[in-house]
Structure formats: C-alpha cells, structure tokens
A and B are shown apart, each in its own frame.
Chain A
Amino acid sequence: MRAFVLTDPALASHAGRFVWLDLNTDETANEPVLQKHEADALPTFMVVDPKDERVVLRWVGSLTVPQLEAFLEEARATLRGVGKAASPEDAALVRADALYGARQYAEAAAAYREALAKAPTGWPRYSRAVEALLYSYQSTDAYAQAVALAREARSRLAGTPSALTASLGGLDSALELPKDDAGRAAGIAEMEAALRAAVADATVVVAADDRSGAFGSLLQARRQAGDEAGVKSVAAEWAAFLEGEALKARSPEERAVFDSHRLSAYLALGDPGRAIAMLQASEKELPRDYNPPNRLARAYASLKEWDEALAASSRAAGLAQGRAKLRVLSLRASLLEEKGDVAAARRTYDEAIVFGEALPADERPVKTIEQLRKQREKLLAPPKPRE
C-alpha cells in the first residue's frame, strides 16, 4: 500500500497535522526505536503522543485512503480527549485502543468486546473495532473466537473493505484451529466461501495487496484440504489478478511491488520459470535493490538450476545490508539444504550469525539471530527414525 495509498494527493491536507516518520524495519539502525515501538506485523501504523511516547492509536495491516483519513482523525480526537466520556462504547474503545497501542492484546480484546457489546447499530467505529479485535484474537491464538467474530461481523460489514478483512482473518483463524476441533471444517468452508465472495466483489475498493493476500489464504485453504487441482486453480486466478495489476503500474518500482506475490503464485502453479523474465527485468531496472536477485535465487532453485540460484543469491548478498543481509543468507542456507549440501548450508548459517553478532549491540536484531540459530540447530538435528 506504500506505493499506492501513501502517494494519494488527497492526503496532502493532513501534512501539517502530524510529524511523519517512516521506519524501514530492515535498517538495523532502527532497532532501538523498534524495540520501543514494536511492530508485530507489517505494515503497522502508529500515532505517538510525543509528550510521553505512548502509542495512542495503532493499525496493523494496510488500509485504504478513507480508512487512513479516518484513522488520522480518530488519533487526533483521542489526543484531544474527545469522546472519552461521550458514551459507554466510546469510553471502552478509548481503553481498548490504549491497550492495543501497548500491544496488550488479551486485555485489548476484552475492552473491544465490551465496546462492541455496548455499541448501538450504526456505530461509526464498528469496523475499526472489529478489525482490531480480530487481530487481538489472532495475536493471542484465540482462533475460535476470531472465527466467531468474523461470522458475526460479516453481514454488518458487507460492502466495506472490512468485509474482506473479516473473512480473511476468519479463514486464516479457521485454518489455525486444531485438526480435531469440531468446528474447524465448517469454519473453513464458511470463511472460504465468504472470502471468495469478498474477493469477487469489484464494487468494494480495497488495496491490491489486500485482494492479493486473500488469494494467498484461499490457496492455503485448498492446500490444507489436499486439493491440488484447487490449489492450481486459485494460483492461476491469483497470477492473472497480479499480472493485471502489474500492467497498470506507472513505473518499474510500482510493477516490482507485485513481484513477490507473482513469484508465490507461479511457484504454487508449479511454473517457477514464468517468474524468471519478470525478475530479470526488475533486477535490471532496479539495480540497487537486493530483492529481485534474491527472488531469482528462489525461482532458479525451484527449477533445480543451482548454479544460477547461488549466483543470484550472491548478487543479492552484495546489495543487502543489516537485517536484509540476514534474510538473504537465510534463504541461501535453505536453498543449499534443498540442494542437499548440508555442510554449505551450515556454513551459511554460521556466516549469517557471525554477521548479525558483529552489528553494534543496540542495532543487533536479537530475535532474528535467535531464529537463525534455531534453523541451524534444526539442520543439525538427526532425522527422526521412521515409525
């Protein structure tokens, strides 16, 4: 959405109302601020009170221009104290937002539930509260509650961008339910149908990445069902959608926005070769970006063209810095493992861990390094004996 929503001229009227800051989470220099204002998922938007650096309003995920404008207005109103005691539902919402801002998701969920229970029909904050509650449930593994919320909210959200969000969160949550959960199959079926309908509803304006993300979840549902033909069918639809969006791009940067999802769709189609020309073009047009060669490495590896894959990975490593370099090296290690070269995979993990630990202490991505150690340990673990 960064390439599309944040470039909308309609936002110009808000320019003087906030101080604007973007934080690239790949930049290790941002590590101290990201420890203070943690983003559990990307994108995340926060409005911070500069007096005490408290997050007064948080939004996780992309949003449309009208949603962003409403978010900005609500943040300003919250800071001015407007609505604090206006109604019981608004008072509960203010509490919920403060807890959500502080990433206390279980407590935030309780407060959002209270706000929704007290809210009259037509409450203007209904959709935002539902989206935040859904994310709070997902963040605390309360998947059954998330499915129930999506089911309950779906009809009230019909015709809005939040209808897609609710169905998507509902389907993702249903897929996370334990395999022996009595409501799992029905939940998946209902949410899959709802999400299909939301994706197909061309009258609702949603960001391209929201629609594309929905295809990713639909594909996952078919994959979990063991429906290989269904996987291919969704992947073909997804690829066609993304190719159409890429055709609308006004610049190489805008077109490359769709490369990662297109690669995922082509991989799901079993046709990684279709990504090669696209990624080669992106690498040529965006020569300082490590992403195109890194994606090329994945595509070539899927074709078992190992020399090309490792050469592309080396080009990506040469361009990447900080956390991005760790990502490139991690991918290279997993490709080497796929190739069957465990010793080289191990060396690559070691290289990544050494690189990460050499970063200045306050910039060190500790969680990422820990994850690399776990991946390395997994690689070293002897295979489980067959039963």
Chain B
Amino acid sequence: MKRPLPLALAFTFGAVTLAAGAGRDDMRPLPFHSDAYPKALAEARSRDLPLFIEAWAPW
C-alpha cells in the first residue's frame, strides 16, 4: 500500500505525495493508451485481453 494518497486528502496541498513523473511516457516499454477508456476497452474486447488501468495524477 505504501502510503498511497487518499484522493480526499490529495486536494489539499499539505498532503504528502510524490509527483508521478508525467513526462516519461516516451520511455515506457508498454503501449499505453492515455485517457481513452472506451477505445482501450474495445481493443481489450476485440483482442480478448485483460485491461490494465493505472490511475494517476501529475501532482
């Protein structure tokens, strides 16, 4: 669990969180769709593959 940041707390600035490093998408070896749930779900259905979701924030 490693001290995930509850979203309710995340809204206040004082909460401790480590930024996600939004700029490194180009270095990821996995072919992520970004912010495109319907498209990713349709692809998962057509390829009969499970859908992996990462929920993150850039702060």
Contact = CB atoms under 8 A, between A and B. Distances in A.
Contacts of A79: 50
Contacts of B22: 2, 24, 253, 289
A7 B19 contact: no
B6 A41 contact: yes
Given A30-B37, A62-B4, A371-B11, A43 B20 contact: yes
B2 A22 contact: no
Contacts of A24: 22, 34-35, 56-58
A254 B21 contact: yes
B18 A168 contact: no
A251 B35 contact: no
B34 A8 contact: no
Contacts of B10: 42
A19 B30 contact: no
Given A2-B20, A12-B30, A257-B20, A213 B3 contact: yes
B27 A7 contact: yes
A172 B9 CA distance: 14
Contacts of B50: 17-19, 47-50, 56, 75-76, 79
A30 B17 contact: no
Contacts of B37: 21, 23, 30, 32-33
B8 A50 contact: no
Interface residues of B, number: 51
Interface string B18-48: 1111111001111111111100110111011
A273 interface: no
Interface stretch (A102-110, A116-124, A204-212): A204-212
B3 A61 contact: yes
Contacts of A371: 8, 11
Contact of A210 (B3, B19, B29, B48): B3
Contact of A41 (B4, B18, B28): B4
A21 B54 contact: yes
Nearest to B27: A7
B49 to A, nearest CB: 5
A72 interface: yes
Query: Which residue of A41, A62, A330 has the most chain B CB atoms within 10 A of its CB atom?
Result: A41
Contacts of A76: 50
Interface in A29-56: 29-30, 32-34, 37, 39-51, 53, 56
Nearest to A131: B1
Interface string A62-106: 110000000010011001000000000000000000000000000
Contact of B45 (A51, A63, A256, A264): A51
Contacts of B36: 21
A210 B56 contact: no
Contact of B6 (A40, A168, A213, A259): A40
